[in-house]
Structure 1
Amino acid sequence: MKNLLTIVITLFVFQTSSAQLFSKERIKNNENVDKARLSYGYFLGFNSYNFNFDYYEDKKDIQVETTTGFSVGLVGNLRINDYVDVRLEPGLFITSRNLIYDESYFAGLEYTDADLIREVKSTYIHIPLLLKLSTKRINNFKPFIVGGISTALNLSSNQDNPDDNSAGEFRMKKNNMYYEIGFGIDFYLFFFKFTPSVRGIFALNEEIVPDEDPNSPWTGNISSMKTRGLFINLTFQ
């Protein structure tokens, strides 16, 4: 799903860009849309969250089975000049991941097939503060890069749950910090500005809540677990 979306957006961008670069058509849509000091919009998108693990001992990696999640949110844009904008993009991000453990983690212990899998469902209130650096507008499109920091509140967090993996509960922290970097293209259509963008996110803080047992097969060998992810957003302004 993620690869298909990326291909579709790439083909759309290439086709539109080529048509505008080599066409004699020079009429500009929405010429004044970027001149407002403050502007607003909304976005719809898809996300894919993963984990990056570091380990104490050299065992087989924990496999992360990712899914395609859904995102929706608002956009607030502060224009600095023709090439620089500051953006706030609060949104709701829903995702799910499955952690698959190798049998070697349970050597000498009794376990079932259910013990080898932990489902991690997450619903985030994600709030990034971003700096958008754009090129000069060419006909009806304008490429840009974007980067910044963000914070997220995991509404599905079970950080304070006294039960841990011994009772089937894989616990994660409630508050997280990230840095983000990405790129996109503003397309100036007749009635609005349409912006497809791709952005990567990388956690700055440790996210796992260890089990009470320091030798737990689920968390005992994990020295660090941090989120990394990919966002594909379609913004309308």
Structure 2
Amino acid sequence: MSNAFFVTGTDTEIGKTTIAAALLYAAREAGMSTAAAKPVASGCEKTAKGLRNEDALALLEQCSLALSYEDVNPMAFAPAIAPHLAAREAGVVLSVDSLRGAVQHVLDKGADFTVVEGAGGWRVPLSGQASMSDLVVSLKLRVIMVVGVRLGCINHAILTAEAIAADGLELAGWVANVVDPKTSRLDENLATLAERLPAPCLGYVPRLRAATPAAVAACLDLSLLELEV
């Protein structure tokens, strides 16, 4: 279980899937078997096979174990809105129990390296007062935080790290993903993040012309996660 990680972010649209897919790619290149889950996804497209999410498909492509789309993304919704609102409109209750069972099904595949990607940030709502973070707590996963580097990211990153610690979970590492290359004092911002976050930086990902899993994986150091072998 120690080689299973939950990927969260400091916000939405900050590259969680890009980093998650790259982590899986790096693990495969290191000779590890891989699996992934994105338990909830909104903004899905209608296809002949049902609703499909671009992010979930990107993760599935990096899985070496035989997984169906439904294994990776059991809860798919069409509207590109907050998952709990999309679920409500579809008449679906996003409960921690139901999502935990779906994710556990993937974890039970026994891959050498498994990534579970969240939706949005750490406190994204599910149903009632439950949040995505409650799912992670129930699964006792180590957490990797993607910091979308832009103005304001230091505060978002520190607050997210504090929330993860308050929930009794380990922040195993974080990735600096530059979403705004024009960020003022970029190097100074990165240095401040390194000083204040209680986990190793797994890599700095600049704005790439083609952010393929291979290109992004080249920016990451998987060994800092202290993986079990």
TM-score normalised per structure 1: 0.24
Which protein is richer in helix relative to its size? 2
- Higher relative contact order, structure no. (Cα contacts within 8 Å, ≥ 6 residues apart): 2
Which protein is richer in strand relative to its size? 1
TM-score normalised per structure 2: 0.25
